[in-house]
Each structure stands twice: as structure tokens, then as C-alpha cells.
Amino acid sequence: MTVTTPESGFRARVQRLTRGTVVFAIALSAWSTGIGASGAMAAEGDAEDGAVELLVSAGASGTVAPGSSTTAAVTVRNDTTTNLSDGRVLVEIGHSPLSDETALAAWLGDGEATGDFDALGSETTEPIDAGGSGSTSVPVPQEALTALQPGVYPLRATLSDTTGGDADERASRDITATSVLVVSPASTTPVAVIVPITATPADGAALLGAEELAALTAADGALTAQLDGIAGTSAVIAIDPSIPAAIRVLGSAAPASAVEWLSRFDALPNERFALQFGDADAATQAQAGLPELLQPTTLANFLDPARFAAAPEGTPEPSSTPSPAPTAGPQLPDDAMLRAVDGETTGILWPRGDVSTENLTAFAGYLGGEATTILPSSSVSGPPGGHATIGGHDVLIAHAAASAALSDAAGTVSAAGRQQALAEAVAHLYLSEQAAPAVPLLVALDRDDSRTEEALRDAIEAADSPGFGLSALRAAPATEAALTSEPDTTRAAVLQSLLADETTLVSFSSILTDPQVLLSPERIELLRTIGVGPSDAEFDAFVAADEAETREILDAVAIPPSSTIQLLTANADLPFQVRNDLPWPVTVLLHVSPSDPRLDVQRVTEAVIPGNTNTRVKVPVSARVGSGEVDLRLSLTSSTGVPIGPNDVVRVAVRAEWETIGLVVFGSLIVILLGLGVYRTVRRKRQEADADGATAEETGEESHG
């Protein structure tokens, strides 16, 4: 038996845009969209092809104990095409701590803070080549921080006396960067961190293939980095079950590194729960009015029984007991076994944040009457994080700003940029702790397929409370909260359209022996299309690709246009082409209907068309006229009557009298040839008789003589 896994080339899709390295650049304005970042102000008059950027951080992840000394790290990044001279960097701290998260946002976003600033130290920077960067450490003595009470203080670095440009035209550059320094003793507020593990197949494939899994689970692979970054922490893992499913469906053909990765994952002590398959968004499904969550139709078509055959374990001992009857084949895992997440906590959904109370009610119905929903604090009024109830429904609230900052840190390769983001995240958590002491907090990282081990570990350890996880957070007292988000039903409307297309594909697939070779991958692609991770722009691109693919599939089986057919006999088999661009054979019914009853045709002909071929289907016809032109209307359906492809009309030029003329001519030729044969035979016999007579006369004369 062969594996019926669909060919990825036929269902090539727009690849998901994986998040690249987050660059903490000048005056990041992304705060307004919910992605905070520490600022770095650019000098005026920067070169058109780049900018000079400044990054600053102090302490460990932006934190220092009261009365301690520390070091400020300042990084200069020269993205211009000219060299940058040495300069002088000054690090300052504000007198007044930032009062709340609004003040924190104003400082990091716009550089606005009240009160004066004190100098912490200054140092000379080294010259920096075009396209290069350099770092300078500025020691901060203990006495500079002794007077600071616990709080979040605005931190500022200014680079001056630097020049850049041509030798004849050097421009002075003064650059300012903003960050924060959290002066605080060890935090007593427990914080749980959720880390999603996702991986998107390339080229629009439904599941990760063997080569992709080998690369992702190699020593330097992205999935390996996820496990390495999580190991040893208390992070809660949220995993897309399509990842273990992709490994398990391969059976003995799964790469050794992937099998080892799955074993490592199962052995981790971290709490974990399963996302929806393909990380499909439950909110989109609830807003579309679906009675239950979408699942893959089946994963059976991805299985190859040969990869699950039990290996012999040596020669069995002789036995008088009759051997059992052989089974039909190896025992194949079912869908539940393939999708299983070992040790998972059930009853949890992590959708997009734009939900309504009605959606929460739908979630409970999806999960059998009880559900815990993870939502960002930007969608909720009340506490900035932790355990809450909304309309009687259980909710875990993730601190939106801290989650965004930690997500940026986890996705940043640059150590300088990562430290700035960590400082911001810690500042948000500190201010939340001050506003609601001892209330447990939750941080949830964004979906990201490409984090490095070091960046992910730094992000987790900056917030993670050892030993505090999902169960402890759910057991904490719940506060009452309310939703402030307005559901965006745009995606729900699109989902309804995609499901209508899927219904059309279900009917179309009746031409296949096993419809699931088409329907199963298409359902998985639909689940990925409505995933939580894609941005609105990515979602639109995926939908356009999905709709284009549906049209391509529905047009894959059709009758190609044909020129006029010459019918030179009264009875014949007319050949009609049927095109099948699918990778699998299809069974169709070819319907032929003449425009004139004087031409008899076989109205329905069944044909099996191999994959990726054009095949001739012969249809018997009989002409009742000697000559004329007749149109034949052609159409295809499945055996269940589903129309397949567009109809076509073929003109047939009947020249049946040519058959009679041909027979007459052929018969005449035969008569002539026979006559010539007889004539030549008679003539030859006469010649032979004359020759024999002449020979006899000559013989008689000789005897008389």
C-alpha cells in the first residue's frame, strides 16, 4: 500500500511570514499598537540610506537592588554608509519614579517624564565603521543609587561629539536613548509564563515533512531551541498538536532527531496544554456560529502501513499451540493517538483577544461545559493579569504590555536590544505588583517559530517564578472582571466563506476513490489559515491563497477545447479528451448529447482518468445521415451526479457517404485486379501451350529425319 499523502507542489500556498529579529530602533512607535519597546532617539540629519541608533540598559534585565552598584550598557549602531567617529556617552537617571504604566508608556514612547535627571556616569565611545556597532560600559557606583527608593526610574543615555560623513562635510550627531531602571528588592508576586510552541510547514504542506522535522529538531533547529530555552524553567508550554502528529504519522520513517525531540518534550516536567490543531482560533469559530470546534477530518491518509510493521524479535520457540490467524496488517494509530499531548491539562483555550461573553459561553460548550480562556489584559477591565471570572466564565488574564515586551525580548538576537525589552517587561510587572500586591500575574509570549534558545531563556527567567505554573494560577482566588474588547467578525465571515468552499470540495471529491486524500489536507490548511498567530495582512494573504487553490482544484478536471471532428463512417468510436491535473486518479461520467437526433451516441460513458494526464475517452456513435454537421454537448459528472468542470460543445462533420464511395472504389479496384489476374493467368497458360506445341513439332521433324 502506498501513502496517500497529498503532494505539496499541487497545494503550494503562501508561506507564513515568520517573525524575524526584532530591532529595537529609534523612537519605536509600535507602543500604540500594543508592542512596547524602549526608545532610541536618532540624530537629525541622518544619512538617507540609514541611521545611527543608540540603545541603553542597566542592571540585570533592567533591575537593581536598592543601594547596589551596577553597570549601564550603551550600544551604538551605525546603519549609515559612512564611518562614525568616537564620541562621549552620558547616562542619566530621573529623580522621580514613574507613577504607573501610563507614565511608563509616555516615557518609552515619547521620552516624556517629570523631574530632573542626575548623571550616573559617562565614557568615551570607540569609532564605528559603516554598518557596524559598538558597545560601551558605564560603571554606576553605589552612591549614585543609594538615595533611590524602590520604583521604576526613567533611564536616559545621550551620545554627543560624534561626527560622520565625508571628510569635507562632517555632521555632528547628538543621539538620545530611553529605557528604565527598576530599583527593587526580590519580587514576592508569583508570575507564570506561557510559551507557545508552533511550527508552520513550508510550501503550504498540511503537516511538517521528514526533511523539515530533521532540520527543526537538529542541534541548531528551531524546535530544539524552544525545548532548550524552556528546560529548567517553570514555563507553561502551549503546543500545537500538529507537531507531535507530524512526527508520529511517519512511524519508522520519522527522523531520529524528531523522535528524540518528542521524547524530550514528553519528559519535561513543565505543565502543558494543547492549542487547537494548527493553532486555529476558537474566537473566529465561535463568532462564525460553529456548533463545535473544527478538527482535521482524519489523519489516516498520512499513514503508510509499511512504516508501522512490527519488527521480528528473533525465532519463536516451537509450540504445539496453533498459531493465531494472521491479521490484516499492522495496527495503525488512530487520530486521537496521533494528536495526543502527553500530560496535557485539558479544558483550556487560548484564542485571539477580541471576544465577547457569548463567545466565552460558546467555548464552554465546545469543551463540554467548562473552559478556561486565556485573554490579554487589553481586552479586559479590572486587574492587569491573573485569575478572574467574566460572566461566570473562568479566565486567565495575561498582562498585555509585559507579554509584548517579553515577546520582543524572546525574539531578539541582539543582547542590547533584548536587555531593553526585558527592562520594560520587568517595569510593567513591578508597577502591576505595586497596584495589586500579592495578586498572581500571567505573561503569555506571542506565537513565534524562530526564537533562539538564549533569547527565550532570558525572557522566561526575567519573569518566571520557580515552581509557579498553570495549576497554581488557576487555584488562586478569582477576581471579577469585564470584557472591553469589541469582537471583529471579519474573520468569522471569511471562515463561513471558506467552509462554503469546503462543502463544494466535498461534493467535488466524489470523483476520488478516497476523498480524504484531498479533504484532510485542505481542512488542515483551513485551520492554519484561521490561526491565532497570523496578522491581519497575513490572514488576508492566506485567504486569497486558499480561495485561489480551491478554484485551481475545481478546475483541475475538465474537458479541454476540441476542434471539429470528421466522422467518415456511419459507425465509429469518437475520442474525447478529459484532463486531470490532480495527482490522484479520478472516476468520471462523460455525458454526450447530440443537437440532432440523426446522430446516435452513447449518452453516458464511465472513465478512469489517471493523475496528471490527458486521457482519451471513446464514445460509440452511429450516423443516420450521409452527411451534415452535428453539435455534441459534453459534460462531466461524478458517479453521484455532481457536475465537474465546465461543459463543452464539439462539432462533428458527418461524411458517412464517403464510406460507400470508398467501398465502391475499393470493390472496383478488387474486380479490376482480379480481372487482370485472370487475364494474365489465361495469357500465360496460352503462351505455355503454344510453347509446348512448338517443341513437339520440332521433336517430330527430328525423328523423321
Are 406 and 445 a contacting pair, CB within 8 Å?
Answer: yes
| 3-state SS track over 55-92 | EEEECECCEECCCCCEEEEEEEEECCCCCECCEEEEEE
Strands in 52-58's sheet, in edge-to-edge order, are: 52-58, 70-78, 133-140
Nearest-angstrom CA–CA distance, 548 and 540: 12
* pLDDT of amino acid 108: 93
* pLDDT of amino acid 173: 63
Residue 534 CB partners (closer than 8 Å, separation 6+): 16, 542
Are 105 and 31 a contacting pair, CB within 8 Å?
Answer: yes
Residue among 577, 591, 595 at smallest CA distance from 631 = 595
* pLDDT of amino acid 647: 94
Give the chain's residues under pLDDT 70. 1-50, 164-173, 310-329, 625-626, 656-669, 671, 690, 692-705
| The pairing of beta strand 441-444 with beta strand 191-197 | parallel
**204 Ramachandran zone, left/alpha/beta (phi>0; psi -120 to 50):** left
Residue 97 CB partners (closer than 8 Å, separation 6+): 148, 149, 151, 152, 153, 183
Nearest-angstrom CA–CA distance, 360 and 393: 7
For the chain, what is the radius of gyration of the CA atoms?
40
Are 454 and 66 a contacting pair, CB within 8 Å?
Answer: no
Residue among 165, 182, 161, 172 at smallest CA distance from 90 = 161
* pLDDT of amino acid 13: 36
Nearest-angstrom CA–CA distance, 31 and 693: 128
Are 573 and 607 a contacting pair, CB within 8 Å?
Answer: no
* pLDDT of amino acid 519: 97
Are 396 and 374 a contacting pair, CB within 8 Å?
Answer: yes
Residue among 328, 339, 266, 259 at smallest CA distance from 302 = 339
* pLDDT of amino acid 438: 79
Residue among 40, 460, 30 at smallest CA distance from 232 = 460
Question: How many residues are present in the chain?
Answer: 705
Backbone angles phi, psi at 47, to 5 degrees: -65, 150
* pLDDT of amino acid 67: 86
Nearest-angstrom CA–CA distance, 281 and 262: 25
Nearest-angstrom CA–CA distance, 244 and 279: 13
Are 654 and 625 a contacting pair, CB within 8 Å?
Answer: yes
Cell numbers representing residue 401 in the block: 504590555
Backbone angles phi, psi at 239, to 5 degrees: -115, 140
Residue with grid cell 519463536, as numbered in its chain: 316
Nearest-angstrom CA–CA distance, 321 and 183: 79
* pLDDT of amino acid 406: 97
From residue 99, alpha-carbon distances to 102, 417, 511 in Å are 8, 24, 68
Nearest-angstrom CA–CA distance, 674 and 635: 50
Please tell me the number of Cα atoms within 13 Å of 25 on its side-chain side.
11
Cell numbers representing residue 652 in the block: 462533428
Are 128 and 84 a contacting pair, CB within 8 Å?
Answer: yes
Nearest-angstrom CA–CA distance, 73 and 155: 12
Residue among 677, 659, 658, 657 at smallest CA distance from 669 = 677
Residue with grid cell 453539435, as numbered in its chain: 631
Are 94 and 112 a contacting pair, CB within 8 Å?
Answer: no
SS3 139: strand
Nearest-angstrom CA–CA distance, 207 and 491: 23
Nearest-angstrom CA–CA distance, 387 and 370: 15
* pLDDT of amino acid 390: 95
Nearest-angstrom CA–CA distance, 218 and 336: 27
SS3 521: helix
Residue with grid cell 549609515, as numbered in its chain: 80
Q: What pLDDT digit, counting tens, does each position of 156-209 carry? A: 999 987 776 554 444 556 789 999 999 988 777 899 999 999 999 988 889 999
Nearest-angstrom CA–CA distance, 658 and 661: 5
Nearest-angstrom CA–CA distance, 39 and 549: 43
* pLDDT of amino acid 486: 87
CA 525, chain centre distance (Å): 8
* pLDDT of amino acid 564: 85
